[in-house]
Amino acid sequence: MQEASVRVAAERTIQKIAASRRPAAVIADPVAVRRRLLAWYARAKRDLPWRGSGDPYPIWVSEIMLQQTQVERVKEFFGRFMARFPSVHALAAAREQAVLKHWEGLGYYRRARQMHAAARKIVAEHVGEFPRSVVGLMSLPGIGRYTAGAIASIAMDLPAPIVEANSRRVLARLAGHDLPVGGAGDEPIWQIAAALVPRKKAGAFNQALMDLGAMICTPDRPLCQRCPVASCCAAKQTGRVDRIPALAAPRVTKQIREAAVVVRHGDRVLVAQRGPGEWWEGLWDFPREPTKKAGDRTIGHVTYTVTHHRIECVVVERRVRRVARPKATQRWATIESLAALPITSPGRRIVVLLAEDGRKA
């Protein structure tokens, strides 16, 4: 029932694009834009480790990693992840804790859990083969409109449009679309992308859009003099490059204060697994309390940011002589053994503080 509803929602999304005969803004010479961008991409494209393969698996892995993560950061992790999980079958057969451990450092761990679930669904329901349509791809966990379009176009050369941060900026400037973008505001950009994507070489064209946005059509100080499609760009021709795209007002950051409690019993410390709906679900961390309690020894401080929240965390030590049997989501571990667990980013920083504190003792 759930799969059917996901498929219906995906079909409606695709139909929104197909039903529109003319986007809110148009690109004056789409043929020239396609030809020039493809020619530029052939000589100037970025050398990225996931390119050059028609296999949808590495393309999918890279696209999931690239969500909310810089390219250079992904390049550090991609090779190691692929070495450990070289195929969708290997990923599907792995334990979730192993997947989270190899994702550690990339953040936004929900991506890893959804990718693991999608791999299991591909193996169980699609005989290990990726669906060969945007609608089919969108029926998989964690694959939305952009990721489905990227896989379909790059791995399968289907004429599927894409809209992400870089291509959104390029398309908005080319068409002179000066309304706010992001969220629901991206629908006109999707329409522009759907009208522009070529029927052949769609994958190369979509990657050209992204590379142009990353290398030339940057948010600040774009290199218009080096742009292969500058003469086709409405924003350039009307002097509005610095005002397009228009962005919504940033969300207000919420300030939070808390205490991370290192509960010690002999040479072991207590760690707890983050639960469903919590930040870093499935990863291990030190217990949290709203404030430091009397009698706790301060070890240090860590500050971190998560989804528009800035957290000031004081790290304290609490020694106990007797311990009850830990809950299923808790365990006692030595500092050294924590290296084998998938631990949250602030949790890993707390481990470093503990090591430094131990050397001072």
Question: Is residue 259 domain-shared with residue 309, that is, in the same domain?
Answer: yes
Per residue in 123-141, pLDDT tens? Answer: 999 999 999 999 999 999 9
> Residue 13: which pLDDT band, with cuts at 50, 70 and 90?
low
**279 and 344 housed in the same domain:** yes
Tell me, what's the pLDDT at 87? 97
β partners of residue 332: 270
CATH assignment at residue 287: 3.90.79.10
Structure token digits, residue 123 = 């193996």
What digits encode the pLDDT tens for the residues 242-265?
A: 999 998 777 889 999 999 999 999
Q: In the chain, what is the straight-line distance between the N-terminal and C-terminal CA atoms, in Å?
A: 59
For 344-347, the CB contacts below 8 A with 24+ separation are 344/274, 344/279, 344/280, 344/283, 344/284, 344/285, 345/105, 345/107, 345/280, 345/304, 346/260, 346/285, 346/302, 346/304, 346/311, 346/313, 347/271, 347/283, 347/284, 347/285, 347/286
Mean pLDDT for the stretch of residues 10-37: 69
Amino acid, single-letter form, for residue 292: K
150-166 burial string, b = 16+ CB within 10 Å, else e? bbbbbbbbbbbbbbbbb
Last residue of a domain, one of 207, 227, 247: 247
Closest CA to 154 of 193, 196, 203, 200: 203
**Looking at the structure, do residues 336 and 226 belong to the same domain, yes or no?**
no
Which of the listed residues 218, 247, 276 is the one where a domain comes to its end?
A: 247
Q: Looking at the structure, tell me whether residues 310 and 203 fall in a common domain.
A: no
200 and 272: one domain? no
Report CA-CA distances (Å) from 202 to 59, 133, 180.
15, 14, 27
Report the alpha-carbon distance of residue 285 to residue 280 in Å, rounded: 9
Q: What are the backbone angles phi and psi of residue 265, rounded to the nearest 5°?
A: -135, 100
Give Cα 246 distance to the centre of its chain: 23
User: For 264-305, what is each residue's pLDDT tens digit?
Assistant: 999 999 999 999 989 999 999 999 999 989 889 999 999 999
Examine the fold and report which residue of 225, 247, 269 is the final residue of a domain before the chain moves on.
247
C-beta separation of 176 from 240 below 8 A: yes
* pLDDT tens track for 178-223: 999 988 889 999 999 999 999 999 999 999 999 999 999 999 999 9
Whether residue 6 has pLDDT greater than 70: no
Helix crossing, 56-66 with 71-84: angle to 10°? Answer: 140
Look at residue 222 in the predicted model and tell me its pLDDT. Answer: 96
**Residue ranges of the alpha helices (H) in the chain?**
2-19, 30-44, 56-66, 71-84, 88-93, 96-103, 110-126, 134-138, 145-156, 165-175, 187-196, 202-215, 234-237, 345-360
The neighbour count for residue 216, using CB atoms within 10 Å, is: 19
Residue 21 has pLDDT above 50, yes or no: no
pLDDT for the residue numbered 140: 97
Banded model confidence at residue 9, pLDDT cuts 50, 70, 90? low
CA distance 42 to 253: 42
Of the residues 63, 104, 129, 312, only one is catalytic, namely 63
Q: What is the pLDDT of residue 53?
A: 83
63: annotated active-site residue: yes
* Domain tally, the chain: 2
User: Taking the CA atoms of the chain, what radius of gyration do you get in angstroms?
Assistant: 24
Distant-in-sequence, close-in-space partners of 3: CB < 8 Å, separation ≥ 6: 139
Residues 169 and 313 reside in one and the same domain: no
Taking the C-alpha atoms of residue 308 and residue 165, their distance in angstroms, rounded to an integer, is: 19
State both tokens at 294: 């009397």
Mean pLDDT of 26-39: 95
144-176 residue pLDDT tens: 999 999 999 999 999 999 999 999 999 999 999
Name the residue range of residue 354's domain: 254-360
Helix (H) or strand (E) holding 306: strand 297-306
Residues 234 and 294 in one domain: no
pLDDT(18) > 90: no
- 228 and 356 together in one domain: no
Regarding whether 177 and 292 lie in a shared domain, the answer is no
* Nearest partner of 327 among 266, 263, 271, judged by Cα: 271
Q: Where residue 111 sits, what CATH number does that domain have? A: 1.10.340.30
pLDDT for residue 20: 42
Tokens 């218009």 sit at which residue? 224
State the Cα–Cα distance between residues 297 and 300, nearest whole angstrom: 9
Whether 159 and 187 share a structural domain: yes
Say if residue 113 is in the same domain as residue 57.
Answer: yes
Q: Specify whether 39 is located in the same domain as 99.
A: yes
